[in-house]
Amino acid sequence: MRTAFIETLTQTAEKDPRIMLLVGDLGFGVVTEFAKRFPDQFVNVGVAEQNMAGIATGLALSGKIVFTYSIANFPILRCLEQLRNDVCYHQANVVSVSVGCGFSYGALGMTHHGTEDIAIMRTLPHMTTIAPGDPIETRAATAETAKGIGPVFLRLGRAGEPVVHNHQVRWELGKAITVNEGSDVTLISTGAMLKTTVDAASALFEKGIKARVLSMHTLKPIDKKAILDAARETGGILTIEEHSHIGGLGGAVAEIIAEEAEKKVWFKRVALPSEFTRHVGNQDYLRGIYGLTVDGIVGNTIALLKRMD
């Protein structure tokens, strides 16, 4: 995803001198080419993320469209007050790009685990919250946010996420993408869990279960219509996210179902517990512990369908 992001941002910066990229003294394997080509549009602020948010706001209020770039929690939680008081309050064109969310940096411990970020960022006024599902969605999200749409949290995987969409999709801010059609149950995924969710739908199909799959790439504004259509047409919804079960995709979907669904909806969150993991390992290892796997999704889906019978 990060390669898709920087390639798209570079192409945009060629045409729009308002685009600026600020980094917190990292990512040079990714951003070096951008820095060489556009020295007047690039600033390394050092290991000073609070300062980075402040500089970004000043540049944005001077007419720039600013992308700040760092890993996991560094560009968002470390400077949360500045994002709230500076970026959001002034509705500045600042895109906070967080690379390596969830357990992407699993072996580095809880300081590098981005597992509460969606919940926190989507509560901020004016903060658009986006978590693309694959590189194709990442390119589209980057191009859209580069237009200058106000404060944005862009949540990306670390690297190596596969392309899920086998054809060009229509990506629209705030509109879910239907990856698979299905009438028995709906699986709603956000971020880099999309490939695992699609694979789980394929495994369910082999068991005679037709699962609709939605890529909910935008958490705020979220696609209420897609959620309510799924509630009405399939009756059961599972949300899948590499994030705490509190306040993320599952929380957002549950809010809509509770307030607006026309009938009873069977619902299940496949997510992380609200705790710091005591385990150490890479992303796949940690996902496996918490059931964020094909087998985990399939098992939870079958259990939900049994409750629905």
Q: How far is the C-alpha of 142 from the C-alpha of 144, rounded, in Å?
A: 5
The answer to whether residue 171 is domain-embedded is no
The count of structural domains within the chain is: 2
Comparing CA positions, the residue from 145, 98, 127 lying closest to residue 243 is 98
Residues 152 and 16 reside in one and the same domain: yes
* pTM of the entire predicted model: 0.96
Contact 56, 102 (CB under 8 A): no
Q: Domain limits at 69? A: 2-156
Contact 207, 240 (CB under 8 A): no
Q: Is the pLDDT of residue 27 over 90?
A: no
The answer to whether residue 85 is domain-embedded is yes
127: helix, coil or strand? coil
Q: What are phi and psi of 129, to 5 degrees?
A: -125, 120
Residues 20 and 152 reside in one and the same domain: yes
Confidence band for 167, pLDDT divided at 50, 70 and 90: confident
The answer to whether residue 97 is domain-embedded is yes
Q: Is the pLDDT of residue 168 over 90?
A: no
Residues 294 and 185 reside in one and the same domain: yes
Tokens encoding 273: 């517990």
Residues 152 and 181 reside in one and the same domain: no
Q: How far is the C-alpha of 110 from the C-alpha of 276, rounded, in Å?
A: 6
Last residue of a domain, one of 124, 156, 188: 156
For residue 18, what are the contacts with CB-CB under 8 A and spacing of at least 6? 63, 64, 65, 148
Confidence band for 228, pLDDT divided at 50, 70 and 90: very high
- The CATH number of residue 256's host domain is 3.40.50.920
Residues 11 and 148 reside in one and the same domain: yes
Residues 189 and 224 reside in one and the same domain: yes
- Prior bond of 132 cis (ω within 30°): no
The answer to whether residue 190 is domain-embedded is yes
